[in-house]
Amino acid sequence: MNRIDQRFSELKQQGRKALIPYITAGDPAPHYTVGFMHALVEAGADILELGVPFSDPMADGPVIQKACERALQQGTRLVDLLDMVAEFRQADTTTPVVLMGYLNPIERIGYEVFANKAASVGVDGVLVVDMPPEEAEEFGPLLKARDLAAIFLVAPTTSHARAATICAHGEGYLYYVSLKGVTGAATLNAEDVANHLAPLRGMTDLPLCVGFGIRDGATAAEVAKVADGVIVGSALVNRIADSLDAPETIAGQLKSVLAEMRTAMDA
């Protein structure tokens, strides 16, 4: 069983919701990333989303754009991320790791080479922001054959017909984008999210996780009431951006942001 499926089945038994932090790998420099991953797990992360930095992150707001720029200035490449996951796995064999990013770095390595390497280092899922299921005909089966989950987005603008297609192709969990906009844009409306999740429940057994617009314990707890998982990115990356002159403090700050959400969600 894939670690993601394993984790959601454990959470279900415990009656808890998944807390899924996102950080951009290589920000503020590659040698910090594995330490941040362990810190996030200590603070209560159930699954880790590791962002692949890209020169043109079209779906991201300024916070993650700048994180990508910092990571790229430090020379972070997709192959380096795979090494980071391998290093992380030496100490943590149970926490699922999902790579999230844009298609071009993967195309450049080649779908099959990437899928082989990702599976061998212990990646569990792949979310390519600019690859909807219709464009995943070649890549999707290569992931599936290696027990890597192909994770897709569902948006407020997604029609019922499209949602059915996405549910049929999706694995691991569905990533529901809570608002129209880029990452870090605004605060979500929990009632609106609940209204959009309801019809999805009838289409799939996949866990429904919600991202975009989750800033603190209060929004995390609100979303956890209606979703199976809560994804938080910009709120964490902001802490990195604010502490570039004191990078040794970042891991501690990430822990405290995440721990507050964990506590609020479990209350």
List the catalytic residues.
49, 60
206: left (phi over 0), alpha (psi -120 to 50) or beta: beta
- Span from 13-21, 71-79, 191-199, 235-243 in contact with other proteins (CB under 8 A): 71-79
Q: What is the greatest pairwise CA distance in the chain? A: 49
Distance CA 186, CA 183 (A): 8
Task: Find out whether 43 and 78 touch, Cβ atoms under 8 Å.
Answer: no
Q: List the helix and strand counts (H, then E) for the chain.
A: 12, 9
Work out the angle at residue 67's Cα, subtended by the Cα atoms of residues 58 and 219, and round it to the nearest 5 degrees. Answer: 80
**Which of 45/99 has CB closer to other proteins?**
99
Of the candidate spans 16-24, 115-123, 155-163, 230-238, the one that interacts with other proteins by CB under 8 A turns out to be 155-163
Per CB under 8 A, the list member of 2, 74, 104, 253 interacting with other proteins is 104
Interface pick for other proteins out of 29, 86, 119, 155 (rule CB under 8 A): 155
Closer residue to other proteins in complex, CB, 136/232: 136
CA 218/CA 55 separation, integer angstroms: 33
CB of 219 to other proteins, least distance (A): 19
Residues in Cβ contact with 131 at an 8 Å cutoff, skipping those fewer than 6 apart: 103, 139
- The correct pick among 10, 12, 31, 79 for binding other proteins (CB under 8 A) is 79
Contact set for other proteins, span 176-205 (CB under 8 A) = 177, 180-182, 185
**Residue numbers of the site for other proteins (CB under 8 A)?**
54-59, 61-62, 65, 72, 77-79, 102-109, 129-132, 134-135, 137-138, 152-159, 162, 166, 177, 180-182, 185
